[in-house]
Amino acid sequence: MIELQMWAWILQLAIISSAIYLFLRLARQSRGNRVVRMLVTGGLLVVVALWGLTESLQLAELQHILSSVTGFVIVVLAIVFQPELRRAMGQLAGPGGERRRDQAVLEQVIAAAKLLSKRRVGALVTFERDASLDPWCERGVGIDARVDRSLLESIFEPTSPMHDGGVVLRKGRILATNCVYPLTENRDLARRYGTRHRAALGLSEETDAVTLVVSEETGRYSIAVGGELRGPFDDETVEEELLDALGGLKRGRTQRSLDVVGGLGGAVRSLVRDVYWIGVSLVLGAGLLWVARGQVVQEGEVEVTFDLRAVSDIEPEASVDLELEGTLVVVELEEPGFAFETAEIEQQAFPLKVRGTHAQIARFRAVARGSVRLAGESVSEGAQFELTPSVIEWNTDVVGLEFDWDKAPRPLTFREVSERKVTLSRSDIVLDTSELLATIAARLEDDAFEPDTVTIRGPKEALARVRGDGEPPLLAPLVLGADPALDEAYALRLHPDWHLDGIRLATPATVVPRISRSRLASPSSFAVPLALVCLDPERAAELERWRIPAAFEVVTFQYEAIGILPVAGDVQDLTRRLNNYVRDNLVAYVDLSDTEAVAEDGAPSLSIRYYLRRGFEEETVRRELGFAPGDLTDWSVIEVRPTLDGSITLEPIESEG
């Protein structure tokens, strides 16, 4: 779909740019001075730039002024520049020269040129083609005579009063002489070329005329066509080159077929010469398309998300996180004593169809926020409210836009709210420590909440289910970062499931998790013998029937010390003493009377049990490890765990068979 749209844009840009290029090319070829060119190109650029400015900066007043005065400005310009415009239009629709001249005319011109070349007499002969040369003929001397070799020689005779300037030929006749052409502004032209060559090139840059130049210094020939100065040529090649420049005058059928190829080549050369104007046309075309795109009426889609709030709620940031993206619409229930039955629509995005111009839709999508306020008689127990697009108040101008749901949200149902006081405990929240640094430990105590009792509001049925079997915790999980601050208070949020059921946290509350920056995992695991015991005297005889498999006679353990090592300083010696203490005091066993399962052959499956002979909480142990009475806290513990998870299955002592 996106690729198809791209090709559609490319096609539209190609069409409109081609039209602009052809228009500019005709304007350049037909005008008599620079006023019309500046009027055409400058006017287009200014109009596109101003319209683009009004669209991008949302300058509604300027856009209205442009819409109102553009037509009047065009009329005023047409009146002020009426002579120039009339001349330009006349040139576009004027007689235009025939592309193929009689062979006799060409022979007369070539013959005269060769005679003038031998005598080193300069000459400037121009063949009019599609673009009319009336603006330059009006400045010369009109004679309207038949093309004749002798007449051309006499015109360019240095003693003749008409030898300065150029001769213009139209339809096989001499239209005017002593014509003054515009000089080229091409600074790359070699300095050896004089005024006659520069005039011929200047005329070819502004029209499609072909001009033959005879140099009075060298007697060589040059041809100016399409903004290019060809040559110099000698007597043997000048006629063929002039024929080629004119497009093949009066050639045979075979030569005409070759003209097609030559015409294509000329078209390519013309496009290469007009790279600047092609670029201008592309820029103008893209600008016009962009402006037009902003004005075209179309249908777009905007994702709308809802945030439901009741007058009894605390700030929503402390209640629940809304993670959906889109245009937010806040629905505020301002009637005390009521709540929404469910907030299910908060977890969805609803596509809203918007009809308007592209610019209006883009602006709406970027800045729009909506609100709905509910109060009064429409709010009652069990009543429903339809969230139609017409009830939403937007924070931006929506004049000219039409709205309709592609997928409408479910109606809102109102319920009378009840209250319930809850004393918070650590079972009401899950502490997520997955991101903590390895040297930091965290836990929650029952006294970590402030206040310890909160009020929740919502429908009676939902409140009754709070803390019920199989129900989620009351509060959303608390996720700690990698390095949480000590004694930092975190705002409590309601669990999303309870929020969807219409329950709201009516009391702001915080929790302060307990953080210890002294956490050490044992550098390596260590092996402890695993003993088989039976703590039930009545089953002690079973010890003679079973034994621990050889693979599990030794079990590896690791320990974790929390709140024991100092945060800074050398801890290697203390770590060594802790390792020795755990290794010397750890006892591991499996209890035959603690059978969890029985294998198919009747072998019991037992869990690994372990303990420290001398507990770390004993004062004598702490003194032996080098701790003073004030070095440790009530959260200074050593937690031991086996590296093997699960249980082991005993094997019978009797030999197989």
Q: Percentage of residues in the chain with pLDDT exceeding 70?
A: 77
Within 57-164, where are the H helices? 60-80, 82-93, 103-118, 134-137, 149-155
Which of 37-46, 98-107, 254-263, 267-276 is predicted with the least confidence, judged by mean pLDDT? 254-263
300, β-bridge pairs? 354
Res 246: pLDDT: 80
User: What spatial distance separates the first Cα and last Cα of the chain, rounded to whole Å?
Assistant: 75
Q: Note the pLDDT tens digit of each residue in 7-16.
A: 767 877 787 7
**Looking at per-residue confidence, does 170 or 6 come out higher?**
170
Res 338: pLDDT: 82
Side-chain-side CA neighbours of residue 9 (13 Å): 14
Domains (range + CATH), the chain: 2-94+276-293 (no CATH), 103-247 (3.40.1700.10), 296-416 (2.170.120.30), 418-516 (2.170.120.40), 519-652 (no CATH)
Q: Note the pLDDT tens digit of each residue in 117-158.
A: 888 888 889 988 877 788 888 888 888 888 888 888 888 888
Q: How far is CA 277 from CA 21, 24, 186, 207, in A?
A: 7, 8, 16, 15
Question: What is the pLDDT confidence band of residue 315, given thresholds at 50, 70 and 90?
Answer: very low
Res 313: pLDDT: 56
Res 260: pLDDT: 47
Side-chain-side CA neighbours of residue 284 (13 Å): 24
| pLDDT over threshold 80, residue 384 | yes
- The single residue listed with the structure tokens 């009840």 is 418
HEC states along 349-403? CEEEEEEEEHHHHHHHHHHCCEEEEECHHHCCCCCEECCCHHHCEECCCCCCCEE
Rg for the chain, CA atoms, rounded = 48
Question: What is the pLDDT confidence band of residue 4, given thresholds at 50, 70 and 90?
Answer: low
Res 220: pLDDT: 87
Among candidates 193, 190, 152, which has minimal Cα distance to 169?
A: 152
Q: How far is CA 449 from CA 67, 82, 175, 317, 633, in A?
A: 65, 87, 105, 18, 21
Res 555: pLDDT: 92
Res 429: pLDDT: 93
Contact 460, 419 (CB under 8 A): no
Q: Choose the most confident range, by mean pLDDT, from 108-122, 511-525, 563-577.
A: 108-122
Question: What is the pLDDT confidence band of residue 255, given thresholds at 50, 70 and 90?
Answer: very low
Among candidates 54, 29, 55, 283, which has minimal Cα distance to 131?
A: 29
| Average pLDDT of the segment spanning 251-280 | 58
Q: What is the residue-averaged pLDDT of the chain?
A: 79
Res 98: pLDDT: 45
Res 252: pLDDT: 41
Q: Distance (Å, rounded) from C-alpha 565 to C-alpha 582?
A: 15
Is the entire prediction scored with pTM above 0.85?
no
Q: How far is CA 170 from CA 123, 177, 227, in A?
A: 17, 12, 20
**Looking at per-residue confidence, does 25 or 207 come out higher?**
207
Res 422: pLDDT: 93
Which of 43-57, 338-352, 452-466, 519-533 is predicted with the least confidence, judged by mean pLDDT? 43-57
Q: How far is CA 374 from CA 304, 338, 418, 541, 559, in A?
A: 19, 11, 19, 77, 59
Q: Note the pLDDT tens digit of each residue in 204-218.
A: 888 888 899 988 888
Q: Distance (Å, rounded) from C-alpha 579 to C-alpha 355?
A: 74
| pLDDT over threshold 60, residue 564 | yes
Res 460: pLDDT: 84
Res 499: pLDDT: 83
Res 633: pLDDT: 76
Task: Kindly state the DSSP code that residue 182 receives in the 8-state scheme.
Answer: P
| pLDDT over threshold 90, residue 269 | no
- The single residue listed with the structure tokens 């791209």 is 6
Q: Choose the most confident range, by mean pLDDT, from 76-85, 280-289, 535-544.
A: 535-544
Task: Kindly state the DSSP code that residue 494 receives in the 8-state scheme.
Answer: B
Q: Distance (Å, rounded) from C-alpha 454 to C-alpha 612?
A: 41
Task: Note every long-range contact of 472-476, with CB atoms under 8 Å and residues 24 or more positions apart, other chains counting.
Answer: 472/497, 472/498, 473/427, 473/428, 473/429, 473/430, 474/422, 474/424, 474/428, 474/429, 474/498, 475/424, 475/428, 475/429, 476/320, 476/321, 476/429
Task: Kindly state the DSSP code that residue 484 receives in the 8-state scheme.
Answer: P
Res 364: pLDDT: 87
Q: What is the DSSP string of 550-598?
A: GGGSEEEEEEEEES-S-SSS--HHHHHHHHHHHHHHEEEEEEGGG--EE
Question: What is the pLDDT confidence band of residue 52, given thresholds at 50, 70 and 90?
Answer: low
Write the CB contacts of 493 (distance below 8 Å, at least 6 apart in sequence).
318, 319, 320, 321, 475, 476, 505
Q: Note the pLDDT tens digit of each residue in 54-102.
A: 666 656 556 666 666 666 666 766 665 565 555 555 544 444 444 445 5
Q: Could you check whether the bond before residue 232 is cis, i.e. omega within 30 degrees of 0?
A: yes
Q: Distance (Å, rounded) from C-alpha 23 to C-alpha 16?
A: 11
Question: What is the pLDDT confidence band of residue 25, given thresholds at 50, 70 and 90?
Answer: low
Res 267: pLDDT: 59
**Encoded amino acid at 511, one letter:** V
